[in-house]
Amino acid sequence: MKITEHIAKAKGETLFSFEVIPPVKGKSIQELYDNIDPLMEFKPPFIDVTTSREEYVYIEKDGLLDKRKTRMRPGTVGICASLQHKYKIDTVPHLLCGGFTKEETEYVLVDCHYLGIENVMALRGDAMKGEPYFEPTEGGHRYAQGLVQQIADLCGGHYLHETVVSGDCADFCIGVAGYPEKHLEAPSLSTDLKRLKEKVDAGAHYVVTQMFFDNAKYFAFVDAARAMGIDIPIIPGIKPLAVKRHLNLLPQVFSLDLPQDLVDAVEACKDNRAVRQVGVEWAVEQSRELREAGVPVLHYYSMGKSDNIEQIARALF
Ligand code: FAD
């Protein structure tokens, strides 16, 4: 079922969902199941599975170092299929522009269609580790808007090299990213919102936001998006802060502000166990207010370990 159909079916009740990361290659998928199992009692209608950018690795050969690209956490679509099969729920693979040609994207979409995956999240991807800017892949898309357009075209039977008239067209529900505190590369929030509108006009059906820790930023973002004519669901993405290092890391990586009360509470913690608890309590308070405001879904970034998401869900759902 499509995410938009889940939202419509919920009739105003806020749903619970979360995002998982594929295991590092060579590791068992069981660890992922072990993290998901405790969250299933909160009845998520869907789970997102991220896609990782490639990284550079150095292979020693004849005394020289050979620089190669590799994806450390492959398997997004396979994991989506296995989760759909195991838990009988919908999954949302994240599709990236970075690292994929349009041709490869088309093959992934065909795989998704055959596997019964009805939702996809269309993203540009970040710059590769160690590179200052995002470099589009040769033969790939520069912006997520192009990827959204390709997916929408394919749903209309327009493949890259031919138009296929058939009774079995894919019909993906397409999610895109939105940034309550603007994307770090965007010159202004208003310009970034115009880019978001372009993704919506290209065929996006819903938005999931980047993490934020101050609900006022989300509410202002939704108001500005609505004023611009963006009328699709805007799902808030929530990340519970988990370690002290996040105080510096999150603002740096995601270009966001942390509220002073949260910073003070984390700085007063003796260890990361206490920080994890502060993160849970903050996320619960944020979620309560968002739910009271009628958000369609509360979507959590689990980043591997799910014990804190379980605590939050237990307090709310
Ligand atoms: P875009 O919408 O393409 O925007 C990127 C930048 O370009 C913005 O600054 C925008 O304002 C600007 N822009 C857009 N169109 C134009 C244009 N026509 N001309 C000029 N400028 C333009 N990353 C991963 O690697 N894997 C994941 O699984 C993943 N999942 C994510 C899930 C969510 C919910 C979110 C919010 C982010 C996720 N990311 C993921 C991170 C995402 O890939 C990065 O934030 C990336 O830098 C931007 O992606 P985007 O889809 O928003 O890009």
Q: Is residue 183 within 6 Å of ligand 1 at its C-beta?
A: yes
Per-domain residue ranges of the chain? 3-316
Q: Is residue 237 within 6 Å of ligand 1 at its C-beta?
A: yes
Examine the residue annotation and report whether 106 is marked as an active-site residue of this protein: no
Q: Is residue 73 within 6 Å of ligand 1 at its C-beta?
A: no
Q: Which two tokens stand for residue 286?
A: 């944020």
Compute CA 2 distance to the chain's CA centroid, rounded to the nearest angstrom. 16
Phi, psi of 206 (to 5 degrees): -160, 160
CATH 3.40.50.720 holds for 3-316: no
Q: What is the pLDDT of residues 126-169, one digit of tens each?
A: 999 888 899 999 999 999 999 999 999 999 999 999 988 877 88
**How does DSSP classify residue 295?**
-
Most confident of the following: 43-52, 57-66, 165-174? 43-52
Which of 143, 147, 299, 303 for a ligand 1 pocket mutation test, highest count of atoms within 8 Å of Cβ? 143
- Residues 97-101 have a mean pLDDT of 97
Residue 15: which pLDDT band, with cuts at 50, 70 and 90? very high
C-alpha 65 – ligand 1 centre gap (Å): 32
Q: Is residue 182 within 6 Å of ligand 1 at its C-beta?
A: no
Compute CA 75 distance to the chain's CA centroid, rounded to the nearest angstrom. 16
Q: What is the C-alpha separation between 236 and 156, in angstroms, rounded?
A: 29
Q: What is the C-alpha separation between 310 and 33, in angstroms, rounded?
A: 14
